[in-house]
């Protein structure tokens, strides 16, 4: 019941409205992580099982964590928790990892599943191992096992192995990351999984492929326009449908899936009219109009604060039209290699060959001078809700950049065809 719900959660949310092939579900992804988690621990056992004391219960626990790691995920990818729940009145701090743990307990209790208590406890710890709860894992208990599914130590885990390859394929993109090479390279040293020094660039491709997906797919300008419109629709529908009130109770939460969109769309209730109208705009491709974007200068990143619609409206020059905050939408995009401005490869230990007993970090300058010296991008995008206001919003956005940075940080001017779209349409 609760796990089958994952069939009704698209892995990439509403991305399929831009990339038609992105219709795979979290159920498929969870099966993939289950398979890769089992393969990873089996390979480690085959090489080092006797010295590490890996037993069948360890294998079962890691595979169970892989299968259930997303069972508490909200609908519409990460948009549900990162954008919708944070924007509703008295924004809720909630994460799907915590809910996954609660859902696992609910599944076991509801179905009276007879499972080893220690196995269940460790599986739940593995699910949240990449969050701030990492310190809660069992003390002195094969810590390397906790790095397989959700790695809070350095970000290399089979969850990424699966979704990077799966999402790239679904969206018609190439992927140069080689899973097999890294799986063959794993070795446990000092209770952590290390990799051969020859695979430094393979690991870098893992993180860079993830960043490319964020830039090209997950935060695509039109994908974000659709996301922001649907978030607004959910906010308008929340009081009536009581969506946010169901997120704390697993018995209610499991009923929330991507069907919310259809529920709003086909409803005739007057209370859902505004939410329904926004979905109709999405269906008709009458999206919020992308005006422009800029990448925050590197020397400004440390003290950067998210830009708001008020910032843009307050930068408006003299003109015939006076913008209001509700006319403007700002999307603050963060793209990194999993650890903000820090290089995640600095937290990885390597070894020279399988005869070596020494592990060591590698600084990127010893590998190549072509690797990035900086590991984070912040992109500010501005949209106009009304096509008639694109020109006015674009000019206010340019004024904001001049006022803030003393220059236009955007690369291109907003095209005249977009600025004058409504006038051109009316001329035909």
User: Per-residue confidence at 427, pLDDT binned at 50, 70, 90?
Assistant: very low
What is the arithmetic mean of pLDDT over 236-263? 95
User: C-alpha angle 362/367/370, rounded to 5°?
Assistant: 130
- For residues 23 and 160, give the distance between their C-alpha atoms in angstroms, rounded to a whole number: 18
The hierarchical CATH code for the domain 289-337+375-428 is: 3.30.70.2760
Average pLDDT, the chain: 92
Look at residues 416, 411, 382, 391 and name the one whose alpha carbon lies nearest to residue 288. Answer: 382
Catalytic residue among 24, 69, 96, 143: 96
- For residues 348 and 153, give the distance between their C-alpha atoms in angstroms, rounded to a whole number: 8
> Are 187 and 351 in contact, with CB atoms under 8 Å apart?
yes
User: Per-residue confidence at 254, pLDDT binned at 50, 70, 90?
Assistant: very high
Q: Give 35-72 pLDDT, tens digit per residue.
A: 999 999 999 999 998 899 999 999 999 999 999 999 99
End-to-end alpha carbon distance in the chain: 54
Residue % of the chain over a pLDDT of 90: 81
DSSP E strands in 192-266: the ranges are 192-196
**Fold match flag (4-221 vs 289-337+375-428):** no
Q: Which two tokens stand for residue 144?
A: 């390397």
- For residues 210 and 217, give the distance between their C-alpha atoms in angstroms, rounded to a whole number: 10
Strand order in the sheet with 328-336: 289-295, 376-384, 328-336
User: Per-residue confidence at 300, pLDDT binned at 50, 70, 90?
Assistant: very high
Look at residues 213, 234, 331, 254 and name the one whose alpha carbon lies nearest to residue 26. Answer: 254
Pick 95 or 373 by higher pLDDT.
95
> Are 347 and 154 in contact, with CB atoms under 8 Å apart?
yes
Q: Where are the domains of the chain?
A: 4-221, 289-337+375-428
Residue 189 pLDDT greater than 80, yes or no? yes
Q: What is the DSSP letter of 178?
A: -
Q: Give 378-409 pLDDT, tens digit per residue.
A: 999 999 999 999 999 999 999 999 999 999 99
Residue 275 pLDDT greater than 50, yes or no? yes
Q: Examine the residue annotation and report whether 96 is marked as an active-site residue of this protein.
A: yes
In this structure, the dihedral spanned by the alpha carbons of residues 170, 176, 180 and 185, taken in order and rounded to 10 degrees, is: -140
pLDDT of residue 268: 96
List alpha helices for 267-331, DSSP H: 273-283, 309-313
User: Per-residue confidence at 428, pLDDT binned at 50, 70, 90?
Assistant: very low
- Highest CATH level, class, for 4-221: mainly alpha
Q: From residue 256, give the alpha-carbon distance in Å to each of 73, 80, 101, 316.
A: 10, 11, 17, 41
Pick 25 or 339 by higher pLDDT.
25
Unique residue bearing structure tokens 């899973």: 179
Instruction: Report helix, strand or coil for 194.
Output: strand
């Amino acid at each position: 019941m609760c796990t089958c719900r994952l069939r009704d959660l698209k892995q990439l949310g509403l991305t399929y409205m831009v990339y038609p092939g992105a219709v795979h579900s979290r159920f498929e992804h969870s099966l993939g992580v289950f398979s890769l988690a089992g393969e990873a621990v089996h390979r480690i056992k085959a090489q080092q099982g006797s010295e590490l004391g890996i037993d069948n219960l360890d294998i079962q626990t890691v595979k169970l964590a892989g299968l259930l790691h997303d069972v508490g995920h909200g609908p519409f990818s990460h948009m549900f928790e990162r954008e919708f729940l944070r924007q509703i009145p008295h924004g809720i701090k909630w994460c799907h990892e915590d809910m996954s743990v609660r859902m696992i307990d609910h599944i076991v209790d509801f179905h009276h599943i007879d499972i080893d208590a220690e196995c269940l406890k460790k599986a739940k710890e593995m699910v949240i191992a990449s969050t701030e709860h990492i310190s809660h894992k069992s003390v002195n208990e094969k810590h390397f096992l906790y790095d397989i599914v959700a790695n809070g130590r350095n970000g290399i885990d089979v969850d990424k192995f699966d979704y990077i390859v799966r999402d790239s394929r679904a969206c018609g993109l190439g992927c140069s990351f080689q899973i097999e090479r890294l799986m063959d390279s794993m070795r446990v040293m000092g209770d952590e999984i290390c990799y051969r020094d020859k695979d430094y660039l393979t690991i870098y491709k893992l993180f860079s492929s993830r960043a490319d997906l964020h830039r090209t797919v997950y935060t695509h300008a039109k994908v974000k326009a659709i996301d922001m419109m649907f978030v607004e629709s959910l906010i308008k529908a929340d009081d009536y449908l009581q969506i946010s009130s169901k997120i704390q109770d697993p018995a209610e939460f499991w009923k929330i899936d991507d069907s919310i969109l259809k529920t709003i769309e086909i409803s005739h209730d007057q209370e859902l009219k505004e939410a329904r109208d926004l979905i109709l705009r999405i269906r008709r491709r009458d999206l919020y109009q992308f005006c422009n974007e800029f990448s925050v200068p590197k020397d400004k990143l440390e003290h950067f604060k998210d830009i708001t619609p008020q910032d843009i409206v307050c930068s408006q020059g003299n003109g015939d039209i006076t913008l209001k905050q509700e006319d403007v939408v700002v999307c603050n995009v963060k793209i990194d290699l999993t650890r903000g401005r820090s290089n995640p490869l600095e937290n990885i230990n390597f070894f020279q060959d399988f005869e070596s007993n020494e592990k060591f970090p590698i600084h990127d300058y010893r590998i190549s001078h072509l690797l990035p010296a900086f590991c984070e991008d912040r992109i500010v995008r501005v949209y106009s809700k009304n096509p008639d206001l694109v020109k006015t919003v674009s000019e206010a956005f340019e004024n904001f950049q001049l006022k803030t940075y003393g220059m236009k940080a955007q690369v291109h001017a907003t095209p005249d065809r977009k600025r004058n779209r409504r006038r051109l349409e009316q001329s035909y």
